[in-house]
Amino acid sequence: MISKDYYQRLLVNLYIAIDAVAANRIRSLLTALGIIFGVAAVIAMLAIGNGAQQEILNQIKLVGVNNIVIKPIVEQKEEKLNEQANGKKEKKKFSPGLTMRDMRSIQEAIPGLSKISPEIILETNVIRNGLRRSAKLVGVEPAYFEIYDFQLAEGRLFNPNQLKNGLPVCVIGSNIKTRFFPTENPIGKNIKVGQHWLTIIGVLRERVVSETSISKLGIRDFNMDVYAPLQSVLIRYVNRELITAEALRLAGMQSRGMVFNNTAASSESEQEKKNYHQLDRLVIQVKETEKMQSTAEILARLLQRKHSDMVDYEIEIPELLLKQQQRTNDIFNYVLGAIAGISLLVGGIGIMNIMLASVLERIKEIGLRLSIGAKKSDVVQQFLFEAVMISGTGGMIGVVLGITLAFVVSSFANIPTIISFSSIVLSFGVAATVGLIFGIAPARKAAQQDPIASLRYE
C-alpha cells in the first residue's frame, strides 16, 4: 500500500518542477517547438486524410457501391495487314448493340442481382418562356432512382401507366427548376424538351457533386437532367434498334458499290461510328459485394455470345476504381503520418538534449537537494515532471495550431478536412509519452550526481 508520505513527496517534486519550468519559460518554449509542430502536423494531416476518405465515401454513394455499369462503344477491330494487302476482307459480323433484350437475358440468366436499370441519354435543349438551355434527357425506369438514391423534393415519380404507355411526363433536376421556374411551382406545368412537350410531375432534391467526382468518375451533374420514362423516350424521341429507310438505303448502296472513293470511305466510317445501340447505359446492382467480379465475368461471356463476339461494349466496376483511390489515400496518410512521427521524434530528442544540458547547469541545485535529505527518486521525479510538462504544454499548443491549420487548409485550398477527437487524443498522448521516454535519461543522470562533488561544482 502506498503511504501518504509518498504522495506528499510526489506533490513537492511536482511543485519544484513547475517552478523550474516557469523560471525558464523561453527555453522551455523553444524546447517544446519540436513537439508543437509534430502534434500540429499529426492533427492537420489526419484531418486532410479523413476529409479525403469522406469524399471518396460520398463518391461511392453517387456511383453505387455494388454497381456494374455496361456502356456501349464502337466495335474494336483487329486484322492482319498482309490479308488487307492481298485484298482479303474479313466477313463483317453483326451485333444488335446493347438493347433491352440484353437486359432481359441478364435478368433471366444471372442470379444474385438486386436491381437493373437501363438508360437512354440524349443531348437536347430545354425551352420555356423564351429561355433555352442545353440539358440531358434521360430515359429511365423506377429502379434508376432507387440505385442512385434520388429523393423527391416535391411531386411524385412515374406510375405504372405512364411507364407502360410512354406518356409525355418527366421529373426534373433541381437546377432545371431554378432556371425555368424560379418563382412558381413547376408541378403540372409543361416544358419543351427537344421537339416534344412534357408535363412535369416531380422535382428531385439537389445532389451535390464535386468537380473531382465529375472528372474522375464520369459522374454528370444530375441537377441539370430531365428524366422521362424509358418507353416515352423510345416512342417519342429515338429507338436506335429500329431499322430506318435511310440505313437500308446506305447499306444497299454500299453493297452494290454505288458509293465511290473518299465518299465511300467517309460514308462507311460514319456508318460504323454511328450509335446503333438502343441503350446508352445498363446499370446492374449486385446483392453481395464479394460476387462483383464473378458477376462481371459472367456478364462479359453472356454479352460476347449475344453480340456475335463483337466487342462493342465495356464493363466497368466503379468499386474497383474507388478501392484504388482508397488505397492511394491510405498510402498518402501513412507517408504524412511518418513525416509527423519523425517531427515528434525530433522534438523528443530536443527535449532530451535540453534536459541533459539543464542537468549540467543545475548540478549545485541537485547536490543541495540531495544533501538536505532528498532521495534519488525525488530528483528523478522532478526531471521527469519537467520533461512531461514541456512536452504536454507543447502538445496542447500543437493541438490548437493543428486545428487552426486544418481550418485554414479547408478554407483557402478547397480541400475537405475532418478533425476527429481520436486524432487529438492520439497526438497529445504521443507527445506526453515522448516527453516521458526522452526525459528518463536526463532524470537518471541527475539522480546519479554525488552530493559533495555537486556542491563543489563550479
* Averaged pLDDT, 279-304: 86
In a domain, residue 86? The reply is no
Q: How far is CA 304 from CA 102, 109, 120, 234, 454, in A?
A: 11, 14, 21, 25, 89
In a domain, residue 256? The reply is no
Cell of 385: 515532471
357 versus 231: which is more confidently predicted?
Answer: 231
> How many CA atoms are closer than 13 Å to the CA of 35, on its beta-carbon side?
32
Beta bridge partners of 124: 135
Can you give the pTM of this predicted structure? 0.57
CB of 273 closer than 8 Å to CB of 74: yes
Burial group, residue 160, by CB count within 10 angstroms (0-12, 13-18, 19+): exposed
Q: What is the CB neighbour count within 10 angstroms for residue 123?
A: 9
**pLDDT per residue over 213-257, tens digit each?**
555 555 567 888 999 999 999 999 988 887 655 555 544 554 455
What residues make up the domain containing 156? 74-80+93-240+275-311
Longest dimension (CA), the chain: 118
266 versus 197: which is more confidently predicted?
Answer: 197
Angle at 111 between CA 297 and CA 163, to 5 degrees: 105
In a domain, residue 257? The reply is no
> How many CA atoms are closer than 13 Å to the CA of 156, on its beta-carbon side?
5
Are 334 and 450 contained in the same domain?
yes
Are 52 and 31 contained in the same domain?
yes
353 versus 62: which is more confidently predicted?
Answer: 353
In the chain, the number of structural domains is 2
Q: How far apart are CA 22 and CA 24, in angstroms?
A: 5
Are 224 and 353 contained in the same domain?
no
Residue where one domain finishes, among candidates 311, 337, 370: 311
**pLDDT per residue over 383-402, tens digit each?**
788 888 888 888 888 889 98
| pLDDT tier at 269, thresholds 50, 70, 90 | very low
* Averaged pLDDT, 313-336: 71
Burial group, residue 372, by CB count within 10 angstroms (0-12, 13-18, 19+): exposed
Q: What is the pLDDT of residue 112?
A: 84
Residue where one domain finishes, among candidates 311, 337, 362: 311
In a domain, residue 174? The reply is yes
Are 28 and 106 contained in the same domain?
no
Are 14 and 130 contained in the same domain?
no
Whether pLDDT at 259 is above 70: no
In a domain, residue 264? The reply is no
User: What would you report as the CA-atom Rg of the chain, rounded to the nearest whole angstrom?
Assistant: 36
302 versus 345: which is more confidently predicted?
Answer: 302
Are 306 and 327 contained in the same domain?
no
Are 304 and 393 contained in the same domain?
no
In a domain, residue 246? The reply is no
Residue among 394, 374, 372, 375 nearest 438 (CA): 394
Are 298 and 375 contained in the same domain?
no
Are 295 and 329 contained in the same domain?
no
Q: How far apart are CA 287 and CA 275, in angstroms?
A: 31
Angle at 211 between CA 407 and CA 136, to 5 degrees: 145
In a domain, residue 431? The reply is yes
Are 414 and 330 contained in the same domain?
yes
Beta bridge partners of 203: 154, 172
Q: How far apart are CA 13 and CA 23, in angstroms?
A: 15
Coil, strand, or helix at residue 230? helix
Residue where one domain finishes, among candidates 288, 311, 334: 311
What is the average pLDDT value for the chain, to the nearest integer?
A: 78
In a domain, residue 247? The reply is no
Are 341 and 215 contained in the same domain?
no
84 versus 296: which is more confidently predicted?
Answer: 296
Are 287 and 364 contained in the same domain?
no
